[in-house]
C-alpha cells in the first residue's frame, strides 16, 4: 500500500493522530501506511525490531561521548564535527567525584574483567546507590568483593575505542541521553516493563527481595517455562501485555531469543535449554535465560514447552509457538519475506552485554551482525531498530532520575531512608522509578542523523510507540505507558536522509 499523507483530501482512510507526551519536531509528519498484515500504521514504520540488551547504564557506555582517548591497539574513533553535546561526565565529575572513587576509563584489558564481575543491581541496592539524589554511594553498594572484582569497578566506563559500534551508530542515527528504566529494578522487572509497563500482579505476592506486595522487584524464573531452574521457586504474572493487544488487532509479532530452541527433551517431555557458548573470558555461558523472557510469565503468551512454529509462514501468527521463538526463527521468517511487524530480539546470554556473562566485545559482534543483516532486507525502507537495555546493572551514572512513581515500603525502599516518597493510597507499591539512565538508539532510514534527544523517556516509551503506531490502545491498570514520553523526536518522517551503515563486528568501524 502506498504512503498517504495526512494533507491528502482524497484519502479514504481515517487518520488517527498519535497522542504523545512532550513536543514533536516540526519535521515529523504523521503518515498512514500498511503494516506487514495489511493493518494501517500511524508512521511509515511498518516493521519495528527491538534489540533488548542487558545491564548497562548510560555513563558506562557514553560517559565521554563523543571524545575517545584513542590509545594504540584499540579501535580509533573520530567524531563528526557537528556532533551535539550530551549530558555526560564533566571534568569535575571525572576528577573530583563525591563517590569513594572517581570514574575511570576501562581499556581493552578490562573487557575480560567485566565478563567476570557483576555489580549489585537489586531494587533496594540501586536506591541506596542513588542516595536521595546525591548519586554518591555506588562503590559501597556495588557488591563487588572478589580479588578481580574491585568495588571501584562500578565507577568504570568504556569509550568509543571499545564500544565503537554503538558510538558510530549514534553518529549516523539518533540516540537519547535521557532514557530511563521504568523502575529501579534488575532484569526481570525491566523486561516486564518493556512489554506491559506494569510490574504488579506477581504470584506469590511476597518472596524476599523478589516479589513485594504483589510487585516483581527481583529475578526469578517463570511457572510457565520448562527451562526454569526449579519449579518450586517460580512466579507468574497477571494482566495484559502488548502481545495481547497485538493479537486483538491481528498484528504479527514475536519474541526471539537465543537458546530458546530446546537442546533436548526430557523423559517427561519437558524442554531442556542447554545450548551454550564461550564468552571472551573463556566461560561457558548457557544461551537462554528464563528471566530475560517476559512473555513467558503470562499464561496467555507463554510457550511453556518451547514448541517450534508450525511453519515458517506462521511465524508471527498465533500457533503452537504462541509468538515465543528461537532467534533462528526470526531470520527464517525474514529470509522468507514474512518478518513480523513487531519483533523483539534477545541475544544469547554471552552476547547480551550482561556483566559476568557477556562483555562489550561479544555484544558488539551480535549488534553489528544483526544490524548489518537487517539493513540488507527488502523491508529496510520501512523498518526501525531500537537498541535498549533492561536495567543499569548497578553501573555508575551521574544523573538523578526523575521519580515519577513513589513507594513507601519500609522493607524494600531506601531512596530516602526507608522510603521512595509516598505512593498514593490506590497506587501499587514497590515501583520506585524512574530508574537510572540507560542507552537508547534508533537506527532507521527515518532516524534523525547524528541527533541526541534530551527529552525524558523510559522503557514504556517503546511500548507506547508500538501502541500508537499500530493503534492498539493502552495497557491500563496503572501501566506507565499512559505517561511515557515520546520517541518521535528521534525520527524525521519528512526526509529519510539516514543512510545505511555497515560496520565491522570486530572493530566497530565502518567497512
Position 230 scores a pLDDT of 75
CA distance 325 to 305: 11
User: Is pLDDT of 371 > 80?
Assistant: yes
User: Is pLDDT of 180 > 60?
Assistant: yes
End-to-end CA distance of the chain: 34
Give per-residue pLDDT as tens, 387-409.
Answer: 999 999 999 999 999 999 999 99
Residue with cell 534508533: 442
Q: How confident is the model at residue 231 (pLDDT cuts 50, 70, 90)?
A: low
CA distance 304 to 203: 17
Position 10 scores a pLDDT of 30
Q: Dihedral sign, CA of 188, 457, 472, 476?
A: positive
Going from the C-alpha of 320 to that of each of 259, 263, 274, 301, the distances in angstroms are 18, 18, 21, 11
State the helix-helix crossing angle for 187-196 and 459-469, rounded to 10 degrees: 20
Q: What is the mean pLDDT of residues 220-246?
A: 94
Q: Supply the mean pLDDT for the chain.
A: 92
CA distance 359 to 279: 8
Is residue 372 within 8 A of residue 443, CB to CB? The reply is no
Position 229 scores a pLDDT of 87
CATH top class, domain 4-490: alpha beta
The percent of residues above 70 in pLDDT, for the chain, comes to 92
Give per-residue pLDDT as tens, 301-352.
Answer: 999 999 999 999 999 999 999 999 999 999 999 999 999 999 999 999 999 9
Position 172 scores a pLDDT of 98
Pick from 486, 428, 469, 440: nearest CA to 198:
428
CA distance 148 to 146: 5
Q: What is the mean pLDDT of residues 258-268?
A: 96
Is residue 383 within 8 A of residue 48, CB to CB? The reply is yes
Position 32 scores a pLDDT of 37
Position 8 scores a pLDDT of 36
Q: Write out 180-247 in H/E/C secondary structure.
A: ECCCCCCHHHHHHHHHHCCCECEECCCECCCEECCEECCCCEECCCCCCCCCCCEEEECCCCHHHHHH
For residue 23, give the 3-state DSSP assignment.
coil
Q: What is the mean pLDDT of residues 362-368?
A: 98
Amino acid at each position: 500500500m502506498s504512503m498517504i499523507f495526512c494533507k491528502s483530501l482524497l484519502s479514504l482512510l481515517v487518520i488517527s493522530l498519535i497522542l504523545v507526551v512532550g513536543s514533536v519536531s516540526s519535521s515529523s509528519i504523521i503518515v498512514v501506511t500498511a503494516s506487514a498484515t495489511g493493518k494501517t500504521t500511524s508512521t511509515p514504520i511498518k516493521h519495528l525490531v527491538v534489540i533488548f540488551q542487558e545491564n548497562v547504564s548510560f555513563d558506562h557506555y557514553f560517559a565521554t561521548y563523543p571524545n575517545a582517548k584513542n590509545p594504540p591497539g584499540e579501535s580509533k574513533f573520530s567524531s563528526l564535527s557537528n556532533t551535539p553535546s550530551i549530558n555526560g561526565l564533566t571534568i569535575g565529575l571525572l576528577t573530583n567525584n563525591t563517590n569513594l572513587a572517581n570514574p575511570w576509563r576501562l581499556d581493552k584489558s578490562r573487557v575480560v574483567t567485566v565478563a567476570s564481575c557483576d555489580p549489585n543491581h537489586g531494587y533496594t541496592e540501586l536506591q541506596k546507590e542513588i542516595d536521595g539524589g546525591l548519586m554518591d554511594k555506588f562503590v559501597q553498594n556495588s557488591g563487588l568483593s572478589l580479588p578481580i572484582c574491585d568495588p571501584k569497578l562500578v565507577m568504570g566506563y568504556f569509550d568509543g575505542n571499545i564500544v565503537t559500534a554503538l558510538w558510530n551508530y549514534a553518529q549516523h542515527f539518533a540516540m537519547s541521553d535521557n532514557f530511563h528504566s521504568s523502575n529501579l529494578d534488575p532484569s526481570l522487572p525491566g523486561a516486564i516493563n518493556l512489554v506491559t509497563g506494569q510490574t504488579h500482579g506477581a504470584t506469590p505476592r511476597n518472596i524476599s527481595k523478589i516479589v513485594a506486595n504483589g510487585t516483581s522487584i527481583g529475578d526469578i524464573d517463570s511457572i510457565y517455562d520448562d527451562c526454569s531452574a526449579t519449579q518450586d521457586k517460580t512466579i507468574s504474572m497477571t494482566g495484559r501485555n502488548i502481545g495481547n493487544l497485538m493479537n486483538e488487532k491481528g498484528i504479527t509479532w514475536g519474541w526471539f531469543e537465543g537458546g530458546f530452541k530446546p537442546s533436548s527433551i526430557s523423559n517427561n517431555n519437558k524442554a531442556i535449554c542447554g545450548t551454550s557458548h564461550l564468552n571472551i573470558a573463556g566461560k561457558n555461558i548457557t544461551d537462554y535465560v528464563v528471566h530475560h523472557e517476559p512473555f513467558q510469565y503470562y499464561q496467555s503468551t507463554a510457550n511453556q514447552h518451547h514448541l517450534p512454529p508450525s511453519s515458517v509462514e506462521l511465524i508471527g501468527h498465533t500457533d503452537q509457538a504462541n509468538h515465543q521463538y528461537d532467534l533462528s526463527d526470526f531470520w527464517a521468517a525474514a529470509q522468507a519475506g514474512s518478518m513480523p511487524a513487531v519483533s523483539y530480539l534477545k541475544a544469547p546470554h554471552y552476547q547480551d552485554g550482561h556483566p559476568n556473562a557477556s562483555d562489550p566485545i561479544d555484544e558488539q559482534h551480535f549488534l553489528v551482525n544483526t544490524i548489518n543483516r537487517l539493513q540488507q532486507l527488502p523491508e529496510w525502507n520501512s523498518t526501525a531498530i531500537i537498541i535498549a537495555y533492561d536495567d543499569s546493572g548497578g553501573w555508575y551514572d551521574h544523573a538523578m532520575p526523575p521519580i515519577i512513581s513513589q513507594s513507601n515500603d519500609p522493607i524494600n525502599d531506601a531512596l530516602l531512608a526507608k522510603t521512595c516518597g509516598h505512593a498514593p493510597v490506590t497506587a501499587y507499591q514497590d515501583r520506585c522509578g524512574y530508574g537510572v539512565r540507560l542507552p537508547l538508539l534508533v537506527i532507521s532510514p527515518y532516524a534523525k542523523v547524528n541527533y541526541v534527544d534530551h527529552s525524558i523517556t523510559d522503557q514504556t516509551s517503546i511500548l507506547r510507540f508500538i501502541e500508537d503506531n499500530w493503534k492498539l490502545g493502552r495497557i491500563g491498570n496503572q501501566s506507565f505507558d499512559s505517561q511515557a514520553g515520546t520517541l518521535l523526536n528521534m525520527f524525521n518522517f519528512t526526509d529519510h536522509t539516514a543512510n545505511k551503515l555497515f560496520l565491522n563486528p570486530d572493530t566497530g568501524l565502518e567497512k
